[in-house]
């Protein structure tokens, strides 16, 4: 009887451990997208700060209804990624509504920087201090942000931060 109880307690204790190769923990989530914000003014302010500081602009196009958008926003709040962003970027979250259903908003911002179509969310555009996009080839690939690890996001943003 005691052995069975100890075995049960050991099984419960080990159930909380993550074995190598096991699924990563769920990403943190944040609700960083505001439908009522003046997105154009926020982008202009970020570009002005970037021009003065020499940092790049990290433009995150998403929505609070989107799990992947909330996951990316949450990852960007973790200490490791927040430090990277603070050191190299001016961060702007732009609410784009539901562009894939025809209920999009602020889509002119994506188009302004060369992302002609926004088929899903989130999208991530990195701009030089003078407003030139540097990652249009990967900007729309962030729709799987909830499946990415903090390390993978850090590596991608560290690479995009380099002149």
pLDDT reported for residue 24: 55
Q: What is the mean pLDDT of residues 10-28?
A: 46
Q: What is the mean pLDDT of residues 39-63?
A: 98
- 26 or 103, greater pLDDT: 103
pLDDT reported for residue 17: 32
pLDDT reported for residue 9: 36
Please state the pTM of the whole predicted model.
0.82
DSSP string for the chain: -HHHHHHHHHHHHHHTSPPTTSPPPPPP------TTS-HHHHHHHHHHHHHHH-PEEEEEEE-TT-HHHHHHHHHHTSHHHHHHHHHHEEEEEEE-EEGGGTEE-SHHHHHHTT-----SS-EEEEE-TTS-BS-TTTGGGGGGGGGS-HHHHHHHHHHHH--
- Model confidence over 60-93: pLDDT tens digits? 999 999 999 999 999 999 999 999 999 999 999 9
């Amino acid at each position: 009887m005691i052995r069975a109880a100890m075995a049960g307690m050991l099984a419960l204790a080990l159930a909380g451990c993550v074995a190598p190769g096991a699924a990563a923990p769920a990403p943190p989530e944040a609700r960083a997208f505001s439908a009522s914000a003046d997105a154009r003014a926020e982008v202009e302010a970020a570009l002005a700060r970037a021009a003065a500081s020499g940092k790049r602009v990290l433009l995150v196009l998403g929505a609070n209804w989107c799990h992947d958008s909330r996951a990316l926003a949450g990852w960007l709040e973790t200490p490791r990624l927040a430090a990277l962003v603070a050191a190299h970027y001016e961060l702007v979250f732009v609410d784009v509504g539901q562009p894939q259903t025809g209920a999009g908003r602020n889509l002119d911002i994506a188009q302004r920087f060369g992302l002609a179509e926004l088929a899903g969310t989130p999208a991530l555009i990195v701009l030089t201090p003078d407003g030139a996009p540097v990652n249009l080839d990967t900007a729309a690939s962030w729709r799987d942000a909830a499946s990415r690890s903090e390390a993978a996001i850090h590596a991608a943003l560290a690479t995009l931060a380099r002149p």
